[in-house]
Amino acid sequence: MTLATLGSAVPDFEIAATGEKTVKLSDYRGKKVVLYFYPKDSTPGCTQEGQGFRDNIEQFNQLNAVILGVSRDSVKMHEGFKCKQEFPFDLLSDQDESLCNLFDVIKMKNMYGKQVRGIERSTFLIDEDGVLVKEWRKVQVKTHIAEVLDYLQSAAE
């Protein structure tokens, strides 16, 4: 299995997305891609994280960055979550975990005292040429959006 690694081109993935679309990474050449992985639609932390990206979308747009959210939920679940939260970006459905595996975000986690396989909240920045330039793992929701924006702004200077 190939893993996306810092400083290397990310393989051109193709995946089902909201809006009855199929998204390919190559569709975004010339733009920065902020690819954020989250555990589950409509849960408190995932909702707060998505709202943070939503509420700062103009700043991301000004920095030539596209936001894409990824979880293992179905496109149908994503559509409801996106609509309810008024997300101005697409959510990608990775039910077969191919994208999760590419970025190595499936980890064993403790949930109510049990070990379960789940997505470790992580964000990846892919540059205009499709190269992975930054990753944030074990993301803390409260400070994360500011960290990503700070990085993008400093890289733009």
User: Which amino acids are annotated catalytic?
Assistant: 46
The residue to which tokens 């992580």 are assigned: 122
Which residue is listed with tokens 């959510």? 91
40 Cβ neighbours under 8 A, 6+ residues apart: 46, 71, 72, 73
C-beta neighbour count of 68 within 10 angstroms: 22
Do residues 10 and 135 make contact, with C-beta atoms less than 8 angstroms apart? Answer: no
φ/ψ of residue 7, rounded to 5:
85, -5
DSSP 21-58: EEEEGGGGTTSEEEEEE-S-TTSHHHHHHHHHHHHTHH
* H or E element in which residue 98 lies: helix 98-102
